[in-house]
Structure 1
Amino acid sequence: MAKYLLLLLVSILGAAASALSRSCNQAYSVIDYGAVGDGDTDDTQAFKDAWKDVCRSSSCSPIIQVPGGKTFLLQPLTFNGECKPDQIIFQLDGTIKAPSDPNDWNCHGNKYCKQWITFDEVANLVIRGSGTVDGRGSTWWERHSSCKAHKHKDKRVCGKKPTPLEIAPTPMEFISSMPKHIFIDHSRIMTGDDCISIGDGSSQINISRIACGPGHGISIGSLGIDGENETVEDVHVSFVVFTETTNGARIKTWQSSAVKISNIRYENIYGTSRRKPAVHIACSKAVPCTDILLNNIHLEAVDDDDDDGDEPSAFCSNVQGHAMGHVFPPLPCLS
């Protein structure tokens, strides 16, 4: 009798665990909300509707699914928080792409869009999958390169490139501003700007196994331009390969700022940089950067007609920290 009761108890617990798993990972496919995925139809509204249900879901970790084998054309949009679930998983297995012509961007009444895709105040967001984020940036780069002289001295007016993907006040280029508990892992990022940019108020950011380039590298900054009192802390960047980026690892705060940057780790970073310095850490004299670690860094210079010589260099100022293992190019300010 005891044996049968034990088997019954195990069956009940197994069923309960299975039900809990289903309730914790309820899936919301954008296809079910009307997305077509043919690369020509505007699927923006379907993504908005799917996100709306995900954000108010009673599931502890719902999944918004972007299925593979399809291409979804999206106008600029924002995925807004604050959401009910403890965690949201954005499962990207297909391709999402921007309109090809900058004039076709629907910027909600604004002449220029600053971002294409924004996650705003979304806590514990996980973006994963084998898909592609295609900002189709080449047309924007052409616009950016055509500058017109301004009537004032030393002023030029240029078309402005938008950033492809922003994660802003939230706990791919990726921009993060005021996020916490962000993991960016196993990604290849090719963009005309920073591959990943970490902004004011960021903490507990883990970036790992990234292929970056072309682009500007992985940056913390430029912070405190208006003298803000912010913090950036607990950022770990590891196992990154840079390919002909204009910079590799970069931290920059404005000299008048009160931004406190601490506990930053760059480890196992390799690759090539097209511009000197390959490592650039420039912190405020008023509030120096503290607890900065560089461990196993090797960045080579790529021949460039604009620079003399092919040796990479590093720059640092107002930095407290240390270097471990092999660090090239060396930073004289780190012990």
Structure 2
Amino acid sequence: MRVFVAGHRGMVGGAISRKLAERGADVITRARAELDLTDQAAVRDFFAGTRPDAVILAAAKVGGIHANNTYPADFIYENLMIECNVIHQAFAAGVRRLLQLGSSCIYPRAVAQPMREDALLTGVLEPTNEPYAIAKIAGIKLCESYNRQYGTDYRSVMPTNLYGPGDNFHPENSHVLPALILRFHDAAQCGAEEVMIWGSGNPRREFLHVDDMAEASLFVFDLPSDVYRANTQPMLSHVNVGSGSDVSILELAQIIAHVTGFSGGIVTDPSKPDGTMRKLMDVSRLADMGWRASIGLERGIAETYQWFLDNRTALRAA
């Protein structure tokens, strides 16, 4: 099978590409310098020329609270353009099978926990990442709409917070887990007495290792159509992917402090935004299908920190 993985240089797309290659699939990739997914004509020409059998859409503009607050126009525009171009041009090229990756931020801010798939569009979104969330909701509805109108088999998986080898360790634009790894590593190296973390430390977050996400994505991708349809609905086609458990940001910081060897104090900064107070996925639908996460949080953080140590020279030069 010839599979186009959009976003293969990202953390998730890279993990999925590696696992596909291990299976013997013919993985088609393009770097951004070769193919700008926001360029409609370029994407059309790519699909017309390559004609892949299937598509996995892992490309997206992503970032943490700071990045989402600072660049809201970039987040909604780029993600909408990527989804519209890839999904429509895949259809135009005769691709019947597609998997697109979304985000847990699609759910309302004040949603019941854990978050069920049917909570989508039942309330107001979290303001700090609303533009990104709207783009990701549009991706789900694009897939559902092409399925309804044209009989395609386009599926969506909604991951919780992801981390792992290949993560973004930018000091301002990264997500919370890699940002804390960088902060605690630097503090441990210079012998700092304390590390400050954003917000109150009370919000709870769920984290999933990228290798687990890659396995879950391919599990959903491989499901026979009748099995997938039996566990979803035409207007509720997305599937949550997560670990099924969460920790407070303060507890996360304590784990990272232990892994990085930082022995000083941890203080909170309540003047910074907390974001949503809890985000835990209801993963019962995926569990019923037959998949569960296998990589524990402390083990996963230790593996991620080792990858950071092995690659920190290249990361700082980027």
TM-score normalised by the shorter chain: which range applies?
A: under 0.3
Select the structure of larger CA radius of gyration: 1
Higher relative contact order (CA 8 A, sep 6+): 2
Greater strand fraction, Structure 1 or Structure 2: 1
Q: TM-score, normalised by structure 2?
A: 0.28
Greater helix fraction, Structure 1 or Structure 2: 2
